[in-house]
Amino acid sequence: MTSTTKPRTSARAGSASIAGRHARPKPTAFGQWLALSGRNMHTMWVYGQFFVAVLAPLIFTIGFYLPLKLVMQLTAGVDYAQFVMPIIVLQAMAFTAVSAAHRAATEASNGMNSRFQTMPIATGVPLAARMTSCFVHSAVSLIAAIGYGYLIGFRFQAGVDFTIGFCAFAMLVGFTLTAGADALGTLTKSPTITSQALTIPQLILGMFSSGFVPVSNFPEWAQGFVRNQPISHFANSLRGMTDGTITLHGLMPSILWCAGLALVFIPLSIWANVRRG
């Protein structure tokens, strides 16, 4: 009896050992997010999107600062490097949103989103991974924009707290815009349409804002729109953080605009990514 029992026990142990070796580890949502975030950032690196994230603020800095520097100094008597810096940062964040829309539309059009839905991936992980890569893209653009700003004479004049507030608010605006852009790209499934749809509002709101010139320099019929639209509020708040003149009351319109946009864009982006079909 002993001689026949031992081989069976040994066989069971061997089978359990083989099964243990071939058992697949159950992935966690965190591990899936980490893997997809790494995939997205690797793709961005391979296709040169991080290079563009550094180059775009340079183009904005040269294009905005050089043509208007002398005019603003002579007519308005302002340090234009300090004045124009917020709109350079905001344009960099808007460009990040355009890239986010293009990336989302590409994954929706080539079937990647549908493939994710058929795989054992936690709901919302692909969206979270894309937003993580967008956050990194925004951070790279922000650092580059501030660096170019220092080259033209921009300086933070209000200490560390306001500097951190400047960067945090810029990233908050960037995150809100990329959430809306991701939703648009996922729903349209067309990189071309999303790029065109986002470029036009970006140009209109950017040019008709207090980011380039003071509100008083606009025609009287346009001043109401220029003064109250979100880009002007964002630019004024960032400008106030650079010199420490911003107050909670002055910051409130920007916070309300950002919160309102986030309440629309974030749920829309979640719905666009978790729906099937």
pLDDT one-digit tens code per residue, 62-96: 988 888 887 777 666 678 889 999 999 999 999 99
Whole-angstrom CA distances from 210 to 112, 133, 143, 153, 215 are: 41, 30, 23, 20, 6
The pLDDT-based confidence of 24 (bands split at 50, 70, 90) is low
Give yes or no for residue 233 having a pLDDT over 80.
yes
Within a domain: 118:
yes
Give yes or no for residue 30 having a pLDDT over 70.
yes
Within a domain: 74:
yes
| Number of domains making up the chain | 1
Within a domain: 23:
no
- Tens digit of pLDDT for each residue in 168-220? 999 999 999 999 999 998 888 888 788 778 888 888 888 889 888 888 888 88
- Tens digit of pLDDT for each residue in 243-269? 888 888 889 999 999 999 999 999 998
The pLDDT-based confidence of 22 (bands split at 50, 70, 90) is low
Within a domain: 40:
yes
Do residues 172 and 96 lie in contact, with contact meaning Cβ atoms separated by under 8 Å? Answer: no
Give yes or no for residue 23 having a pLDDT over 60.
no
Give yes or no for residue 11 having a pLDDT over 80.
no
Within a domain: 58:
yes
Q: Encode 136-175: b = buried (16+ Cβ within 10 Å), e = exposed.
A: bbbbbbbebbbebbeebebebebeeebeebbbebbbbbbb
Give yes or no for residue 1 having a pLDDT over 50.
no
pLDDT at 159: 85
Q: What is the mean pLDDT of residues 10-23?
A: 52
Within a domain: 16:
no
For residue 254, the enclosing domain spans 29-213+224-274
pLDDT at 8: 53
pLDDT at 137: 94
Do residues 137 and 53 lie in contact, with contact meaning Cβ atoms separated by under 8 Å? Answer: yes
Give yes or no for residue 224 having a pLDDT over 60.
yes
Residue 163's nearest CA partner among 144, 178, 187, 146 is: 146
Within a domain: 1:
no
Q: DSSP string of 126-179?
A: HHHHHHHHHHHHHHHHHHHHHHHHHHHT----S-HHHHHHHHHHHHHHHHHHHH
pLDDT at 12: 54
pLDDT at 255: 94
pLDDT at 111: 77
Q: DSSP string of the chain?
A: -HHHHHHHHHHHHHHHHHHHHHPPPPPPHHHHHHHHHHHHHHHHHHTTHHHHHHHHHHHHHHHHHHHHHHHHHHHT---HHHHHHHHHHHHHHHHHHHHHHHHHHHHHHTTHHHHHHHTT--TTHHHHHHHHHHHHHHHHHHHHHHHHHHHHT----S-HHHHHHHHHHHHHHHHHHHHHHHHHHHHH--HHHHHHHHHHHHHHHHHTSTTTS-GGGS-HHHHHHHHHSHHHHHHHHHHHHHHT---HHHHHHHHHHHHHHHHHHHHHHHHHHHS--
Sign of CA dihedral 76, 154, 199, 168: negative
Select the more confidently predicted residue: 28 or 89: 89
